[in-house]
Chains A and B, each alone.
Chain A
Amino acid sequence: MKFIYKIALSLSAVMLVFMAVWGVFFFRVMVAEVNDETDDMLEEYSQDIILRWLSGVNIPSTDNGTNNTYYVREVSSDYADSRPRIIYEDTDIWLASENEYEPARVRRQIFMDSDSRYFELTVAVPTFERQDLIVSLLWSMIVLYLVLLVSVLAITVAVIMYNMRPFNALMKWLDSYIPGKKNAPVPSDTDIVEFRKLAEAVQSAADRFERQYDQQKQFISNASHELQTPLAVCSGRLEMLLDSPGLSEEQAQELVKMHRTLQDLIRLNRTLLLMSKIENGQFLESEDTDLGGILKDNAGMFDEVYAHKGIRAVFVEEGRFVVKINGQLASVLVNNLLKNAYFHSPADSVIEIDVHEDGFSISNPGDEPLDGTKIFTRFYQENSRKEGSTGLGLALVKTVCDSYGLSVDYEYDGRHRFTVRK
């Protein structure tokens, strides 16, 4: 999940709850205010009526003509004493204008005239007006809530995006970083302290990594070089020993085995050297090479070598696959893939070689798919460790392909299939 989405999500979660609570609270306050206002109005109205009543102005004892309703009735002193002087309540009242009962806010007040008679004045205002007010308030609240939510989110995202530009540039740099290749310097064009620190840290880590990578490469290459002479000495001594007279068959056999193992070691060492040479770009001359032709020539050789197992190659040629590549490396590439196919095939099977204009593929039968992510790594040998096998063949293939911008892929569809493409 991207950081910006994470922020937007958390922000909306918090805002959703926080603003809802605030909305409910605000709404409550507004409603209370409206009620208060209604009660004030009722009070003023009743004062006005009582004043007129007591001053002897002749007003009708009931008024039912408008929404504002009142009526006055005489009550006994007992009734008056048994009740509070002023009561507010919500109740249904009869509305003549509507000809039905309606919920209303009601104020009752008991008052006494100069003849010591008690009267009860009931003033009522129907609540539908208040309800309308509240509904429209609620709607405004909801609209405001949504607009606020969306705009806060939009502004936050925009501001973060704008300010995170140096960070995004850094991310882009990291994505494009390839160890051991020439990389652009880490972008640090920012005056924000944290981002500059981050860029500096990344730069120094990359530099350190680069140095270690070089050292490691250097080490492998040096170690292989240094091994050459002792290996030559060892191998030479064994050869001399083998030529010496008076050797029993058993001794000779042991020596030959030793010699062969030593040759495996020499081959391994040579392959490591070859790989570091390819990685260091020491194979310069390349020429247009028809890989299909090399495939054909070498498959013939392998057919001969593996004739006892009845393995043979079948060619499908749909075009010429011509690549600008060093001749020596072209045969390294082709031969390692071919050797791999022949070596891991059961007896009496067919190697299918498919050559077309922008690539070739080599496939051989096999029971189980291989782990496509690991087979190109050095020394990886899954269930197929055999004596004399270096475990470097496919790694070498990959190294060659990488250095000439070719791709090599592995698929399994009942057969192991290696495909090299431009």
Chain B
Amino acid sequence: MSRINELFKQDLKVVNMGLESFYNDLKAQKVETIHMNWRPRAGGNPKMLALLKRLNTKK
């Protein structure tokens, strides 16, 4: 039996990143879950990401 199946035989403790609906679904099924307050860097805004990248140079 693969190790992944071993994992699912145990009580799962889940850390959810990203869409909150995944967290809500697990919570509804009484799975122990915490939702991480996470967002993509600069909200995924390409212009802001480019500006931040320019300031990250080590020059």
Chain B binds chain A: no
